[in-house]
Amino acid sequence: MDHKEIAEQIFLAGVESVLPERLIVNKMEIKDNSLVIGQLTFHLNEIDKIYVIGAGKASATMGAEVEKILGSRITEGHIVVKYGHSCKLDYIKISEAGHPLPDSNGFKATEQILKIAEKATKNDLVICLLSGGGSSLLADFPDGTSPEEMIKINNLLVNSGAVITEMNAVRKHLSKVKGGQLARVVYPATLVNLILSDVPGDPLDVIASGPSVPDPTTFDQAISVLEKFKLTKSVSPGILKYLKEGAASKREETPKQGDVVFENVYNLLIGNNLMALEATKQKALEFNIN
């Protein structure tokens, strides 16, 4: 075997270790009339309805594996993916939308995802599938603004030089789903998030803008980001007005650590860059490469 073939095998070992279908199968199964997800066990006879939602470039493939396991037990579902990343599903609707900038399809899909989340009641289970690209694909806009204004501010942020945490501080405060707000919508139902991370360090509040985790940022910080990158005069008056109203406590803040909405929320990191690197390392060791 030549060096090129060895390099290919090492590379493929890393890729295969984080294939969505493999990760879902490793984390989810039905056993003795119970749904087992990682260390969690849900008795199916105690669940009224199961909803599946999600966003991200790999979420359709994740959804396909969830369908294989749950099948007709899925009451309803909707996933939004990047153009060209969908696949055929039987119980979960798929929408394709813009990435890295949101578009009209993303706004429509997110609206439908939120409508499904709002249906969930105390004895229901919501499974959310998140992967890279979720921040752009989960696209909505605050009261008093328009999709066009959100597309503009996303474009400004992407080209401003702001790091992902700074961009997300703004995005979270112009959304009804990001920054822990999906958990707020789903509560009091149980929300299980299966997360495939492409963010170094795997900060859950950053991946897909943290729709299911407490948000450490504030409206004031969102405004500070715009000021830092001299964007306050470039964003629309409606966007700036909304953020200033939030800073003045006229808009509801994103949910923080200890909020009751996170009582029934479980976040499971099922794959990340480190997992892929570890697989490549193990494969390299087979060829005595270190």
User: What is the three-class DSSP state of 120?
Assistant: coil
Q: Is residue 286 part of a domain?
A: yes
Q: Is residue 52 part of a domain?
A: no
Tally of domains in the chain: 1
DSSP sequence for 168-182: HHHHHTT-SSTTTHH
Q: What number is the average pLDDT over the span 167-182?
A: 95
Q: Is residue 278 part of a domain?
A: yes
- What predicted TM-score, i.e. pTM, was given to this entire model? 0.89
Q: Is residue 141 part of a domain?
A: no
Residue 3 is part of which domain span? 1-18+274-290
Q: What number is the average pLDDT over the span 224-239?
A: 97
User: What is the three-class DSSP state of 46?
Assistant: helix
Q: Which amino acid makes up residue 99?
A: H
Which residue(s) pair with 194 in the sheet? 129, 268
| pLDDT 10s digits, 242-272 | 999 999 999 999 999 999 999 999 999 988 6
Q: Is residue 218 part of a domain?
A: no
What integer pLDDT is reported at residue 10 of this predicted model?
Answer: 45
